[in-house]
A = this chain, B = another copy of it.
Amino acid sequence: MNPTLEIFSQGEEIVTGQTVDTNAAWLAQQGVICGFTVTRHTAVGDKINDLVELLQNISQRADCCICTGGLGPTSDDLTAEAVAIAFNLPLEFDETAYKQISLFFALRNRVMPDSNKKQAMLPQGAERIDNDWGTAPGFSLVVNRCWFVFLPGVPTEMMSLFQESVLPVLSSRFLLQPKKLVSIKTFGLGESAIQELINSIEIPAGVELGFRAGTDDVQTKLLFPFAYPKTIMTTLISQFTEKLGDYVFAIDGLDEMTGDLVFEINKLMTHRKFTLAIIETASHGLFASKCIGYEWLLSARYEKSIGKLRQNTISASDTNYLTSVAKQMAINLQNSSQADHVLVQLYTDDTETLHNKNKPIMVYNFLLNKGVFYQANHLINGPIKRKQNQAALFTFDLLRRYLQQKPMNFQNPKDC
């Protein structure tokens, strides 16, 4: 029997629906992978009686409970107080927590508001979980059958604390039989196109197949039982990668650490000491924005669409003209930037089309390296922010295919 895990979220913004509780889903996923059976999620608002009653109930029925939210400095942050009341563990001043919170403000040249002192008060016997990302330390304690972990509600802080301070100690506290999750990451294929491609593959008993369609990729997920034979696992994964072909840009859960499309490109660019300059139109600065912290991007420029450059909208039949404009722009950019790789992204449509979620735009991407041009064109539809993001990703994908020596994906991608 797996140990049981409950997720408990605190905050009026959750319970009133102002905030969608993505923390609960993320923590539940982590719990399943670790080998817990997740039994329940509960969210309550800033009502001390509800919090107290719930904590008492959970302490009787779950082996582990991860709680988020309610650790802030304000009067509606009641978690520590509720724990103190529920389990008769008076709040005590934690000298180290206080120093950390003071340091947080000192490093920022700011005076610590009085209200933040509250965050250094922890229930008697609680173990502090240091928070390098914000002012609220987390804490953990065992009551009845349950090991409670309290984390801040800000997602980035919550995830960092979970990964750095909770995950490493789980295996010493619980007898866990972790499953093995392998995620095959693709760009350019929708979920149903993937399903069609893979539906002839037989999934062995015990292996769970799932999909996760994000804004930047689609992940095909295979969840293998504890201690699953490595050879069967490897064979199954290669059946999948064969079917999904060059749409696959990374595989998570094997030997290598992988990330999103831009992370993978960064590895390739950095390794080969390449440099890049770009002119972007439809993605409107988002390409450059996704490259934050990467030294190989030497310069980036946002320009209005090619239509605007020419003072009128050009038609699809003008692609020869468009290609010659793009090539000249790329050559000029290479000369001015001294980058060894140059990308030019153009689109021919007007602003109305960009805004209209029922009209697609055609985006033309050109890559120039050592005097050779590579090109890929894509129709992109949907709301304006989706068009922007997809435009950036298709430009990245042209670069990724070049760096990984995959075929250029000229045609429109399938169902995405």
Instruction: Point out residues on A near B: beta carbons under 8 Å.
Output: 9, 12-22, 24-32, 38-45, 47, 50, 72-76, 105, 107-110, 113-116, 132-133, 154, 156, 191-193, 195-196, 210-213, 283-289, 291-293, 295, 297-304, 351, 354-355, 357-358, 360, 379, 381-385, 388, 412, 414-415
Given contacts A288-B284, A292-B388, A381-B108, A32 and B20 within 8 Å (CB-CB): no
Name the B residues within 8 Å of A109 (CB-CB). Answer: 379, 412
Name the B residues within 8 Å of A44 (CB-CB). Answer: 39-40
* A305, chain B: closest CB distance, angstroms: 11
Do A26 and B17 touch (CB < 8 A)? yes
* A253, chain B: closest CB distance, angstroms: 13
Name the B residues within 8 Å of A27 (CB-CB). Answer: 17
Q: Which of B24, B75, B300 contacts A301 (CB 8 A)?
A: B300
Q: Which of B210, B301, B304, B412 contacts A12 (CB 8 A)?
A: B210
Do A414 and B110 touch (CB < 8 A)? yes
Given contacts A39-B45, A41-B15, A115 and B293 within 8 Å (CB-CB): no
Residue of B nearest to A116 (CB): B192
**Sample of 16 more A-B contacts, CB < 8 Å, known A17-B24, A21-B21, A285-B289:** A17-B27, A17-B31, A20-B21, A38-B45, A41-B43, A74-B192, A76-B211, A114-B196, A132-B357, A133-B382, A133-B383, A156-B383, A286-B289, A288-B288, A299-B302, A301-B302
Bound complex: CA of A285 vs CA of B285, how far in Å? 4
Bound complex: CA of A287 vs CA of B286, how far in Å? 9
Name the B residues within 8 Å of A12 (CB-CB). Answer: 210
Given contacts A289-B285, A351-B293, A192 and B73 within 8 Å (CB-CB): yes
Given contacts A192-B115, A196-B113, A212 and B18 within 8 Å (CB-CB): yes
Name the B residues within 8 Å of A379 (CB-CB). Answer: 108-109
Residue of B nearest to A277 (CB): B302
Do B16 and A41 touch (CB < 8 A)? no
Residue of B nearest to A413 (CB): B110
* A217, chain B: closest CB distance, angstroms: 14
Name the B residues within 8 Å of A75 (CB-CB). Answer: 195
Bound complex: CA of A212 vs CA of B289, how far in Å? 26
Name the B residues within 8 Å of A45 (CB-CB). Answer: 38-39
Name the B residues within 8 Å of A299 (CB-CB). Answer: 301-304
Q: Which of B15, B212, B360 contacts A40 (CB 8 A)?
A: B15
Name the B residues within 8 Å of A17 (CB-CB). Answer: 24-32, 38
Do B415 and A110 touch (CB < 8 A)? yes
* A388, chain B: closest CB distance, angstroms: 5
Do A40 and B29 touch (CB < 8 A)? no
Do A289 and B292 touch (CB < 8 A)? no
* A257, chain B: closest CB distance, angstroms: 17
Residue of B nearest to A286 (CB): B289
Bound complex: CA of A45 vs CA of B360, how far in Å? 35
Do B107 and A358 touch (CB < 8 A)? yes
Given contacts A16-B29, A304-B298, A415 and B113 within 8 Å (CB-CB): yes
Name the B residues within 8 Å of A133 (CB-CB). Answer: 357, 382-383
Do A22 and B20 touch (CB < 8 A)? yes
